[in-house]
């Protein structure tokens, strides 16, 4: 079945440590996104990528980094500069059909990151 | 700037009664509008979208939504609620002219259906 796989499901970070969250999709989608979800705050955009080797900052990019070396993969690194990383992280992807923006985003099942 | 408002943090309804989850939006141009549902510790599942045409959009699991341009609203509705509909619901918008950008989400509304 086609879909988006996020791993691990749970992740713990020590002080001063960088951690990387994996996101892989087999939907042949061009665009991929990372959101952070905190209780009562909805989803906030961290980074997004429309094509391979290109990505843009979202609303809360500070303390995070991404890469897009392959169409299928869009890993997110939470750096030690992110002082409050505890949250639920969601990866999504969507088609970019002829540049139109009417396609829904499809989501993975998330990674819950906590501080040790 | 684009934005979405879900004015109710929580909606409570009895099983078998109709339900409405409210959403209003703000975009500079014409909107593409979406509803998603999230169950605990899961990702978001797409329910339905409004692109153009008929103002009443039908989606998954018996849900529908009504687009009202004059009121800039896109309320989610279901004629008869089920206990299994209890979940967190998100409304999202994208300006039709901003191809390739991410969806803007509301803060979510928790729907609780009692038996």
Q: Is B10 on the interface with A (CB under 8 A)?
A: no
pLDDT of residue B49: 94
Q: How many Cβ atoms are within 10 Å of B97's Cβ, its own excluded?
A: 11
pLDDT of residue B47: 97
A28: left (phi over 0), alpha (psi -120 to 50) or beta: left
Residue B100 pLDDT class (50, 70, 90 cuts): low
Say how many domains are in chain B: 1
Contacts of B44 in chain A (CB under 8 A): 43, 90, 92, 105, 107
pLDDT of residue A98: 60
- Kind plus residue range of the DSSP H or E element containing A3: none
Rounded to an integer, the average pLDDT of A46-63 is 94
CB nearest A108 (choices: B41, B43, B99): B43
Contacts of A102 in chain B (CB under 8 A): 32, 49, 51, 94, 96
- CATH number of the domain bearing residue B29: 2.60.40.10
Let me know the angle formed at the C-alpha of B85 by B51 and B80, rounded to the nearest 5 degrees: 85
* Furthest-apart CA atoms within chain B: distance in Å: 44
Rounded to an integer, the average pLDDT of B85-111 is 89
Cβ distance B43 to A110 less than 8 Å, yes or no, reads yes
Whose CA is closest to B48, among B36, B40, B56?
B36
Quick one: closest CA in B to A47, which residue? B102
Residues in B 27-66 with any Cβ partner in A closer than 8 A: 32, 34, 36, 41-46, 49, 51
Residue B105 pLDDT class (50, 70, 90 cuts): very high
Could you list the residue range(s) of the whole structural domain that residue B45 is in?
3-114
Q: How many angstroms separate the CA atoms of A39 and A49, rounded?
A: 25
CB nearest A101 (choices: B43, B44, B100): B100
Cβ distance B100 to A96 less than 8 Å, yes or no, reads yes
Q: How many angstroms separate the CA atoms of A44 and A105, rounded?
A: 14
pLDDT of residue A1: 62
Q: How many Cβ atoms are within 10 Å of B99's Cβ, its own excluded?
A: 17
Q: What are the tens digits of pLDDT across the range A57-102? A: 999 999 999 999 999 999 999 998 888 999 999 999 998 766 667 7
Cβ distance B90 to A42 less than 8 Å, yes or no, reads yes
Pairing of strands B87-95, B64-68: unpaired
A100: left (phi over 0), alpha (psi -120 to 50) or beta: beta
- pLDDT of B82 above 80: yes
Percent of chain B with pLDDT strictly greater than 90: 81
Quick one: closest CA in A to B91, which residue? A42
Q: What are the tens digits of pLDDT across the range B12-58? A: 999 999 999 999 999 888 889 999 999 998 999 999 999 888 899 99
Per-residue burial over A66-89, b if 16 or more Cβ lie within 10 Å, else e, is bebeeebebbbebeeebeebebbb
Cβ distance A110 to B100 less than 8 Å, yes or no, reads no
pLDDT of residue A28: 93
pLDDT of residue A100: 65
Contacts of B36 in chain A (CB under 8 A): 107
Which positions ≥6 away from B52 have C-beta within 8 Å?
B30
């Amino acid at each position: 079945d086609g879909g988006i796989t996020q791993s691990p499901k749970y992740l713990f970070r020590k002080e001063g440590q960088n951690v990387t969250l994996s996101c892989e999709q087999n939907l042949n989608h061009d665009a991929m996104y990372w959101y952070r979800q905190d209780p009562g705050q909805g989803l906030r955009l961290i980074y997004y990528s429309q094509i391979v080797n290109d990505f843009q900052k979202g609303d809360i990019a500070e303390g995070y980094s991404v890469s897009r070396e392959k169409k299928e993969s869009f890993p997110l690194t939470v750096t030690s500069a992110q002082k409050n990383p505890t949250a639920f992280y969601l990866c999504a992807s969507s088609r970019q059909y002829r540049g139109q923006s009417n396609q829904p985003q499809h989501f993975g099942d998330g990674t819950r990151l906590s501080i040790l | 700037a684009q934005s979405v408002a879900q004015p109710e943090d929580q909606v409570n309804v009895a099983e078998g009664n109709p339900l409405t989850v409210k959403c209003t939006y703000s975009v500079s141009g014409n909107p593409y509008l979406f509803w998603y549902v999230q169950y605990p510790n899961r990702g978001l599942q797409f329910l339905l979208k409004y692109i153009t045409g008929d103002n009443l959009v039908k989606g998954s699991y018996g849900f529908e939504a009504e687009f009202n341009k004059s009121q800039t609203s896109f309320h989610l509705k279901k004629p008869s609620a089920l206990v299994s509909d209890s979940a967190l619901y998100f409304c999202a918008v994208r300006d039709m002219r901003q191809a390739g950008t991410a969806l803007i989400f509301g803060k979510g509304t928790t729907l609780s259906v009692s038996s």
